[in-house]
Amino acid sequence: MPSAFFRKSESESFSGGSRPSRPRVGVALGAGAARGWAHIGALQELVAMGVCPDIVVGSSIGAVVGGCFAAGRLDTLESFARSLTKRRVFGLLDVSFNGGGLIGGDRLRWRLEESIGAMRIEDLPIRYAGVATEIGSGHEIWLKRGPLVEAMRASYALPGLFEPVRVAGRWLFDGAIVNPVPVSVARALGADRVVALNIASEGSGRGTAIQDVPEADEAPVAPAPTAEDPRVGVMNGLRRGAGMLRRQWTSEGPGAPGLASVMVNAFNITQDRIMRSRLAGDPPDVLVSLKIGRIGLFEFHRADELIALGREAVRKARDEIAEHVELTPAKG
């Protein structure tokens, strides 16, 4: 169960003690690293078709996109996402020397604060919660008050990659470990109807037991390096070092997957199992799978494609959404 420290009374009303005349609509945004840019397009399409969310919750990248939506900054996030290139993404990763993670996260925090400012969750026009996990206890923490950027950072702090974030005396990291698509949070905050947006990559949910693996030929051994001018050797060494570091994060080129890719894929497999179990016990009214194909977990520079895929997924689910959620035509 979530920590009571961060939790308001279940009977607490959403706005001034009065319930809206229509059912409250909650949107739960799932985790998915870079693939979560699809949430931007999905939310834009929901609004365009007349869905008016009263409650938005998210885990990991879902907490980031959901927080920006609740703060009225989704357009700002979209512009930032579309501006990213491979070089710019790499430039946002500041190496940590504290031992809690490979990335300190200060550069990302500065960018978020620059875009969002000092907004507090309790002051947002739409009710919001980000989900995080407490180190040690494993408690599921619902971040429903305090600085919005701090809640986002805690929710996306992937173990081993980002340093954990200290909130109210607790060390927190990625909420996808305990609740990847937080439908239960949306309901607890008062949602009568919940639309869940789940990132579905190619092959997700298809894990099975393979009882035997045939042997394969070994890869050819790389040729031994030849002698070269020392100055050329230094420059080539630097280039190779930079290339190796880049491959560790992006898994570009042949050979084994990079460090970040290995960690996040392992995490992603676990997350998928947890997600299916949680949704089976507390299913949403509408589950929209944002199918993103083979786009990688760290391909943040592919926002254009991901946003379009998010819009397309919601557009295809329009009839199902309309069965459960009242569509309010846009004014004007």
Phi-psi map region of 80: left, alpha, beta (phi>0 left; psi -120 to 50 alpha): alpha
Which residues, other chains included, contact 27 with Cβ-Cβ below 8 Å and sequence gap of 6+?
43, 46, 51, 53, 55, 56, 57, 66, 186, 194, 195, 196, 197
Cα angle value 75/295/154 (rounded, 5°): 55
Which residues are registered as beta bridge partners of 95? 103
Greatest Cα pair distance, the chain, in angstroms, is: 79
Cα–Cα dist 72/65, whole Å: 11
Distance of CA 88 to the CA centre of its chain: 19
Cα–Cα dist 43/101, whole Å: 31
Q: Are strands 127-134 and 55-59 parallel, antiparallel or unpaired?
A: parallel
Sequence-ordered strand ranges (E) for the chain: 25-29, 55-59, 101-103, 127-134, 140-143, 160-162, 165-167, 170-174, 193-201, 286-293
Dihedral of the alpha carbons of 6, 12, 15, 19, in degrees to the nearest 10: 140
Contact between residue 78 and residue 40 where contact means Cβ atoms under 8 Å apart: yes
Q: Are strands 101-103 and 55-59 parallel, antiparallel or unpaired?
A: unpaired
Q: Active-site positions? A: 60, 174
